[in-house]
Structure 1
Amino acid sequence: MITNETSLQELLQKLTRLKKEIQKVIVGQDHIVEEILVSLLAGGHCLLEGVPGLAKTLLVRTMAQALHLSFRRVQFTPDLMPTDILGTEILEEDHATGKRFFKFNKGPLFANIILADEINRTPPKTQSALLEAMQEFEITYGGKTYPLDRPFFILATQNPIEQAGTYPLPEAQLDRFLLYVKIGYPTAEEETAILSNTTGNKKAVVEAVLGAAEIQQLQSLVRDVNISDELVQYVANVIRATRPDTTEVAYVKEWVRWGAGPRAGQALILTAKARALFKGRYSVTMDDIKAMAYPVLRHRILMNFKADAEGISSDNVTEKLLTTIRINPGLS
């Protein structure tokens, strides 16, 4: 438990150190690192998308090194089975009595941080095996329920779905990810620094900063961050405006097939609180809401064929909503 202001400040300082440790290895991508850490603080899972070679796996592995947490990496392939990630029962024998019995052998999901690498390279049957673990923080096998270690954080990477050999994630599983983060190409200066830093013998040493108990304290503290009634109403207005069946926003009716559900509003408020805490504040601002709206809504607003044909993405809709909808109800 956090007993005083000094302990709280020490925890927040460790958050700053955590980001700096990650930046020893990862050049640039500051907002990507921030969004991943916000997802961790908010207690949700994160989906990273980018073409191969943008250091998605390296970023996750570096973050794991900067935390006193158990880490497992699962390379998703077309032949991966659900038992390969959940675990399976094996037949063992008690040498004292000679009796045989089944023992559950835990899979790689029984760790604090899971890197689900190239999750859309594996068929839907294996993808869906993650659903219960992501939502309930437990898995069921052979009629028995096994709790997962806490904190439990899945960081999944995927290649753009236009690439060959990919299986698009179903909407139900996409919604389990708190944030959907897209990684783009580095700037010219960042790319030069990457080439300089990664082609020599010198390797950065990443030190572990935070442990499991401290992360759980921070996750609990996030929910105590203050948010005004006006901002809660604003979030509700934005979420409701994404639904083409009930909204009066013309471009949403024109481009959106399915809008965001209440879970999106919960995710937006929770991640805004986590971002405020990450910035050292104890109250949510409009900047927090607007910064987190994109990764929260990116996978929860489904575009129709007309939007796809015109090159309109969910980010475009989110941007228009954030600029047209105002805090005062009735003005949206």
Structure 2
Amino acid sequence: MVAAPKIALTDEEITILKSYKRSRFSLVQHKAEALLLLNGNIDINFIADFLDRRPSTVTTWAKDYQRIRMASLYTGHAANTNASKLTLTQRHEIATVLSTPPSAQDIPAQFWTVPHLKDWITSQFDVIYDSDTTYHLLLRHAGLSFKYPQVFDKRRGSDAEINARMSQIRDEIAEALNDPGQVVFAADEVRIEHEAEVRKAWVHIGQPTTLSVDRVRQAQSYIGFLSQTTGEVDLLRLEWQNTETIIEALTTLVGRHPGKKITVVWDNARWHRSKKLREHLGEGNALANVHLVWLPPYAPDHNPIEKVWNEAKAAISNRQRLVFEDTVVGFETFIGSSTFSYRI
């Protein structure tokens, strides 16, 4: 007699599992039904008999669900003999499916992964490949590439709202861009970090491989002002990212562009909108010539200087530096010797 595992489902989970009872995949259907019945304290032997499974299999499904919740519904397909292979028609069907998000196939995920694709192919065609390379080729054939997805805050507005705000910003800075007495910058902070790490080195056989390095993790913060006319960046070191250091940086920027009105377009960080910073703006104050414009909230991809940071970090990441100051100099040298085409 197999003891029934305890399953406690939330109302939301029950709703989702009920929808999975209509899945085109029989294994997903059976798992959903088993979990719903276990939640209702139905005898595990009855559940196993009803689904034509062993009680131990139902127990495994329950334990998997307790461990990884909904993700368990799309894992654990029984392996076949690997004798069958995909036909050309099936490959075309897979390419069509991969052109849509996994959710279109009742898979609870935003992006396709090898495990998701493997489970879908197994359920649909009863084919399993030993090597993940085959699944990589199928993904690439469908036009997908392996890269880090952009991650956005769930509080981000709709594309329509963001595009409307960006249109307003472009209208607001249009006159300043054509006025030689004004300068417009896209601004943001960035932080670079360093920890020396050497994995292998070419050494003479028999010689010791000891290497002295600085293993202390260090970091340096900056604020950058990307000119929207010249593409040059005013880069300033920051002791920290807070209101006081930002006021100092803006004061330095004013000194670098004497007599000119300055428009700074940046994000909604709290130190960009603080009361203390606003007290330094306006006639008679140190930042009287500074006009601040805020990007739409949670939309860093619309700040062109973010692309500068990505480019600069990529440029210094290809070489191991044992001293942190070398990392700092490399970062500053790349930005100081470059102009960038990124615009609002």
Structure number with bigger Rg: 2
TM-score (structure 1 length as normaliser) = 0.22
Q: Give the structure with the larger strand fraction.
A: 1
TM-score (structure 2 length as normaliser) = 0.21
Q: Which has the higher contact order (CA 8 A, sep 6+)?
A: 1
